[in-house]
Structure 1
Amino acid sequence: MTMRPSTERHGRLLASPWWRAGLAVLAGALPALAFPAPSLWWLAWVALVPWMLLVRSALTARRAALEGWLGGAGFLLAVHHWLLPSLHVFILVLAALLGLLWAPWGLLVRRLLGGVPGPGRVAAALLVVPAGWIGVELVRSWEYLGGPWGLLGASQWQVAPALRVASVGGVWLVGFLVVGVNTALVALVSAPRARTVAVAGALVCAAVVAVVWGWAPVPELAGTVRVAVVQPGVVDGVGSVQRRFDREEELTRELAGQRVDLVVWGESSVGQDLGNRPDLRDRLAALSRSVGADLLVNVDARRSDRPGIFKSSVLVGPEGPTGDRYDKMRLVPFGEYIPARSLLGWATSVGKAAGEDRRRGSAQVVMRLPDTRGRGLLVGPLVCFESAFPDMSRQLAGDGAQLLVAQSATSTFQHSWAPAQHASLAALRAAETWRPMVHATLTGVSTVADPRGRIVGERLGTDRSAAAVYDVPLARGTSPYVRTGDWAVYGSLTVLALYGVVELLVWLVGKAARASR
């Protein structure tokens, strides 16, 4: 039987290493469309299929590893493309380095789904391939490798059943199920001998979501707290630090008489250390008296009492700073410090990398608001990038925080996908912890999520300069995820370890059999 010309061309393209390399990059980038701003959340459940089909068809293990690497680089470039104006060509270097983490995942895909796999291999793939993906996400989530921005499970931030799943197993369990469904679809297409197992795998993933949705506990509401968010908007040019403070002061004065319990300013909202600027300290205290509530501001300045520049959440009351202060612990690589500066310091010459490393705090802090109107509220602050780390919000909830507050800016990336991506994390962190989250920005997208991860009130978009008041629902109780921790991660690592042992035993038995011939 003669192949049709189109089929022959298709075969030649898939055989070409250059075409396959390009397809791997594009296929790896596809899942980025599931995140904001496109927010095609449903795409995540099928977006890995083209990449996995390509990798499983690789003729050699080396080729599968290469296409895993290239796809990982494509994914990172797509999810972080908004960093290009700041890092320029250096973002290609970072994507290439971190993309290497997906090379072993490519080997797993080819090993378990390559050729014509039977039911046993497909059953193993339904566990091992998602576990391998979670392993990759865990490693790249290390703050010194860039942090957990763009975890696949985070793409489901607006899907109520997925948020319920997150309350049980965190973003990790959501990601495991997403990759599990993709794996089942790949097997359904490429493994005719094991389609029953593939369908069963997809049904199990659906059943897990259904069981969690139907039987997992939900937070018990316990009143509300009135929180005001002050978003000054874009303030550029000479004197921008002082003019931004003036605008924040003006917006805050508008809150007088609205009976708010807390006013939140964004990241770097105060550009001078309050120990060196008693005039600013007095103005903030006067604002607190005027509004009748404490202000949670964020100071980005060289400290008067310690060497170096810190980004600090500072609580200010009617008499001035209350003494509650949190110094940011997890800094943005290249944005706030340069890893191995002696080796990579050249990045400052090709982009907007940090000219001086910021200093780190040593511990998370839970702040107590004064017991006005019967609301002695416990607040857990996070600064910008830290809202991407599920362990930090879980720690604050475990320490008793009733309200999570993330102070952010994103002013450098105002017209990109970054503000919407960042704001979406508030819903996920709230659902995981059963603690509402306020995401307050200088510019960007300010938003509030309730204890189930649902958006409360009006989102302040990138074009807004305003103060908004939110009646934020509180909740009592502890979510399963806060109680049990990252069991989905440990389960994935256990699956990978058991698979490694089985593969080793198979190799040893094969070696012994060959030696006995």
Structure 2
Amino acid sequence: MTVPAGRARLGLLFIAGIASSLGFAPWNLWPLTLIGIGWLIRETAAAASRRQAARAGWAFGFGHFLLGTHWIAQAFQYQQDMPAWTGWIGVVLLSAYLAVFPAVAALAARRIAPAGLALVLGFAGCWTLAEALRGVLFSGFPWNPLGAVALPMAGLGQGAALVGALGLSAVIVLASGALYALGERQWRTGGAILGLTAAAALAGLMPLRTPTGLTTTRLNIVQADIGQDEKWSEDGVERAVAKYLDLSPAPTASPRVLIWPEAAIPDLLDEMPSMRRRLGAHLGPGDLMLLGALKAIREDDGTAIAAHNSLFALDTEGGILARYDKKRLVPFGEFLPARTLLNAIGLDRLAPGALDFWPGPGPRTLPLPGGVPAVGPLICYEVIFDGRVTEAGYRPAWLLNVSNDAWFAGAGAEMHLAQARLRSIEEGLPMARSTPTGISAVIDANGRVTAAMPRGQAGVIDARLPEANPPTLFSHAGRILPLLLAALLALLGWSLARRR
């Protein structure tokens, strides 16, 4: 088959990138991901120069991220000073930037080897290293790691307990490279890689055969289906509290943890003692409440200069038992870079409010009273950062991800849930997720969803907290393992190319 040239070739790569993104939730068409990445490897080998290889990677990445981040456009519907269509400009610009990472991966892989098995090994290593860089550069945006498409692939997703989502990304590229090798009639190479991938997937089924063990801790996760426009209305706080209280089950003889989502009360809860007492009055003996709200940062004279996006733990008297302040903030959502310049053109934060948010100190484990296991809180998209979700030296018994997925289109909410499942597998910890519009869920330590409430529905999840697994290899070593794996693959590709 003749390789198309020029714009037609880049257009096909763009389409291949879009198709590859269909392997993520909610579509889960992972064979398209393998075919798409395999096509990119083939085009990298067919490129006349390393510069053309980089262009191929960029065209592919632009399509890949354009579909994977399309949900961001919905957030601009709530921006008062800018028309909603500007959201699509934001998606295009973000995708153009993110496409640089596949371009760098293709350029580096082609530098390692021109074709064959050496190129496949080099490409797997370079893609993984570029993906790791994407997760840290300019505060990081590790949305949709390629390894996320392994979740519906039999038991392959369980490999995240060993090498994390980044390591799974390398496996996905290797499997895609096998398709490239088979297309080049390298039967032994392609068959061997696919065989190893299938064996890993079958091995991963073993932990999934064990039923989910449950603790005695009872969870009530409230999903009120309050949209972003309703939340920030003039009487939004009172309406939200009334709806959440109406949905929250009455106390019973069995103690429970009542959970409301991120910024369920979009106000300064620590400065609202009457509100806290009102919430505490809804709790029974032994009950505990975990909910999202705001915390003001004030000067000595009382002037508010910033705020924290926080999770509060309340007792039956409305007392604050603990608080966690979000570390990883969303640019344009929680703070505005270059505020003076952007304000001048009419652009403000997507979330209402004159104050920017300031970051907290980082991952924390909160001890809780009444026999409730210690929890590791994660607010909103903090859950997408692999290897950085638990406090060093103090492993929690479970993770809690409170989020406001009302910002997202439906596909974005599904992608967010998939990445939360990866964190549970990596850390060997169960997770509770609470969002105002869905998808709220309980996830066991193997990444299985044991209870969930669909998007756009109001109600409550009444479930017991799953048991934790023993600490995983990834929870001990963190990102060092997938980075070493990526470096090893790149080195093997380079060594094989030099020998030939």
| Conservation of the 8 A alpha-carbon contact between 1:219 and 1:475 | no
Tell me the CA shift for residue 165 of structure 1.
Answer: 0.9
Q: Does 1:460 align with 2:460?
A: no
The 5 A counterparts of 1:36-435 are 36-85=25-74, 86=76, 87-110=87-110, 114=114, 117=115, 122-142=116-136, 144=138, 146-159=140-153, 161-190=155-184, 192=185, 194-211=186-203, 221=213, 223-235=215-227, 236=230, 237-252=233-248, 254-257=249-252, 259-288=254-283, 290=284, 292-303=286-297, 307-341=305-339, 349=347, 352=350, 356-371=355-370, 375-393=371-389, 395-396=390-391, 399-413=394-408, 415-435=409-429
Q: Is the 8 A contact 1:36 1:420 kept in 2?
A: yes
Which residue is equivalent to 1:473?
A: 466
Distance 1:182 1:271, change over 3 A: same
Shift in Å at residue 183 of structure 1? 0.7
User: Deviation per CA, 1:222-254, whole angstroms, max 9, x where unpaired?
Assistant: 7342111011112514322321121112222x2
Q: Report if aligned partners of 1:366, 1:401 keep a CA contact under 8 Å in 2.
A: yes
Is contact 1:369-1:376 (8 Å) kept? Answer: yes
Letter in 2 for 1:182: S
Contact 2:113 2:122 in 1 (8 A): no
Match of residue 451, structure 1, among 419, 424, 445: 445
SS of alignment partner, residue 193 of structure 2: helix
Which amino acid counterpart does residue 239 of structure 2 have in structure 1? R
Whether the 8 Å contact between 2:334 and 2:349 is mirrored in structure 1 is: no
Q: 1:401 to 1:381 in 2, by over 3 A?
A: same
The one-letter code matched in structure 1 to 2:420 is: A
Gaps of 5+ in 2: 77-86
**Post-superposition CA distance 1:243-284 (Å, at most 9, x none):** 1121112222x2421724311110111111123222211112
Residues of 2 paired with 1:499 and 1:269: CA distance? 51
Distance 2:118 2:48 in 1: 21
Distance 1:344 1:293, change over 3 A: same
Larger helix proportion of the pair: 1
Change (3 A) 1:32 1:398: farther
Change (3 A) 1:160 1:206: closer
Q: Secondary structure at the match of 1:46?
A: helix
- CA 1:151 to 1:174, structure 2 compared with 1: closer, same or farther past 3 Å? same
CA shift in 2, pair 1:218/1:180, >3 Å: farther
Flag structure 1 segments of 5+ consecutive residues without an equivalent. Answer: 1-6, 507-517
1:509 aligns to what?
none
Q: Is residue 271–residue 301 contact of structure 1 (8 Å, CA) maintained in 2?
A: no
Partner of 1:510 in structure 2? none
Aligned-partner Cα distance in 1 for 2:362–2:329: 14
2:330 match: secondary structure: coil
Q: What is the CA–CA distance in structure 1 between the aligned matches of 2:88 and 2:97, rounded to whole Å?
A: 16
Output the CA distance in 1 between the equivalents of 2:217 and 2:18: 41
Structure 1 distance, partners of 2:469, 2:269, is: 35
Provide the rounded CA distance (Å) in 1 between the counterparts of 2:127 and 2:343: 31
Letter in structure 1 aligned against 2:373: L
Q: Name the CA distance, whole Å, in 2 between partners of 1:186 and 1:406.
A: 39
Identity %, equivalent residues: 26
Structure 1 residues 302 and 251: alpha-carbon distance in aligned structure 2, compared to 1, 3 A threshold: same
* Alignment-derived partner of residue 79 in structure 2: none
Superposed displacement of residue 356, structure 1: 4.8
Q: Deviation per CA, 1:426-479, whole angstroms, max 9, x where unpaired?
A: 32221221211011101121011111111113x211221112211222135212
Kindly indicate whether the alpha-carbon contact (under 8 Å) linking 1:168 and 1:216 is maintained by their aligned counterparts in 2. no
How far apart are 1:112 and its partner, in Å? 6.5
Name the counterpart of 1:512.
none
Question: What residue number does 2:82 align with?
Answer: none
CA-CA distance at 1:405 after TM superposition? 0.4
Alpha-carbon contact 2:182-2:190 (below 8 Å) kept: yes
Name the SS for the 2:437 alignment partner. coil
Q: Give distance in 1, aligned partners of 2:172 and 2:293.
A: 39
Partner of 2:81: none
Deviation at 1:498, TM superposition (A): 7.0
Task: Provide Cα deviations, 1:310-363, integer angstroms capped at 9, x if missing partner.
Answer: 100110011323341110000122222234556766786399478753110013
Q: Secondary structure at the match of 1:337?
A: coil
Looking at structure 2, the residues matched to 257 and 336 of structure 1 have their Cα atoms a distance apart, in angstroms, of: 38
CA RMSD of aligned residues (A): 3.1
